[in-house]
Amino acid sequence: MAIIRGNPRNISIHHSAVQPPATNMTMLKQRAAAHNNYHKEYSDIWKNTTPGEYGYRWLRYHYMIAQDGSVLQTQHHKYALYANTDGVGVNSFNYNAINIMFEGNYQIASPTEPMMLAAVKLIREIQKQYNINPMVRGHKELSSQPTACPGSKLGTSKSGWIQQLIANVNDKNYPAPVDWRTDAVRLPDKTTYQTNKDTALFEIDTGKRVSEFKKGTKIDIEYEYKGYLITGWSYDRKIKNGFKQADLDRYTPAPPTPEPDPPKPADPCEVEKERIKTLEGVIDTNQKKLSDLLDEVSDLTTIVVDLEKENENLLKELEKSNLRLKEKREEVKRLRGLGLEKLTLGDFIKWVGMQLGIGKPK
């Protein structure tokens, strides 16, 4: 079984010497499984067998790193992992080291910047975890027998890539701050989006909701960044806030109402036909009015004739009445001549009766 030791104090750098180098986490896991089976054959000699907390009981490395910067932990820090040629004893470098293996043959392949960034971050985490300032060495600087590990392209603590690794770990300004906007993609044109549900503007790094937006809110978007849509206002001010792409849809305004077709030029013949039709209608109306008026005149003429005839009859009747009135006046005059104008009514009646031979006066 592997020796359980105290807290680590050193970092030992290795390579696998396998080509081509692992370029991502998937390849890293495949190589880890292959190395684990290979190391199993030497487990009795190396005495590096562990309970396999990370799934690899015989692998002699605590970490593996791929060219894209993927980091795979394969053993717990508490185990001392080394070959017989690496030096033994509780005071040896390897007894107190964490083994980091870069997956690939770095006699041939060249290390990448993502590898550097990943290794610096990992070593700084180990420093912080154990409050140590570890020594970092290449395998060949520690082996009691000649070895090319970790490859000439990685070098040693005194030259090459490992020397730069140590310098970067100690450089507080490494890595230089990266402007996240360099990874933002500018849309061809400012595009209006519309929220498809109640959502928020998020801090991209933390996921914190900054401002709430109701469903149907229209937002002008100019940039896309890792699943987020960003306004030009935020981008220009380096404010790393954005909307989740799934929460917004491209806004499509309703199509404009089409303009009516301009009127066609009037046909002169048709215009004249319409004018004639209108005039004919007016003439027909006037003819009807005239006919009605003539009918009224005819009725009035008949009334006038009737009135003239009635007046003629009335004049004749008036003439007769005047004649009778004249006779009455003559009669009254005659009676006055007889002295009868002062007779009482009763005496007059008696007189009339005598005239008619009805009675005799007393």
* pTM of the predicted protein model: 0.55
**Same-domain pairing of 36 and 102:** yes
Tell me the pLDDT tens digit for each residue of 296-349: 888 888 888 888 898 898 889 888 888 888 888 887 777 777 665 565 667 667
Q: Domain range spanning residue 207? A: 180-250
Task: Establish if 324 belongs to a structural domain.
Answer: yes
**Same-domain pairing of 62 and 147:** yes
Task: Establish if 338 belongs to a structural domain.
Answer: no
**Same-domain pairing of 154 and 80:** yes
Q: How far apart are CA 171 and CA 178, in angstroms?
A: 16
Tell me the pLDDT tens digit for each residue of 94-139: 888 999 999 999 999 999 999 999 999 999 999 999 999 999 999 9
**Same-domain pairing of 136 and 60:** yes
Residue 227 tokens, joined: 């699943």
**Same-domain pairing of 164 and 38:** yes
Task: Establish if 45 belongs to a structural domain.
Answer: yes
**Same-domain pairing of 163 and 274:** no
Task: Establish if 33 belongs to a structural domain.
Answer: yes
**Same-domain pairing of 46 and 118:** yes
Which residues have a Cβ under 8 Å from the Cβ of 283 and sit 6 or more positions away? none
**Same-domain pairing of 104 and 216:** no
**Same-domain pairing of 160 and 184:** no
Of 252, 254, 249, nearest to 215 (Cα)? 249
Total structural domains within the chain: 3
**Which domain CATH number covers 105?**
3.40.80.10
**Same-domain pairing of 71 and 10:** yes
pLDDT of residue 88: 59
Q: How far apart are CA 60 and CA 50, in angstroms?
A: 10
| pLDDT range class, residue 47, cuts 50, 70, 90 | confident
Task: Establish if 359 belongs to a structural domain.
Answer: no
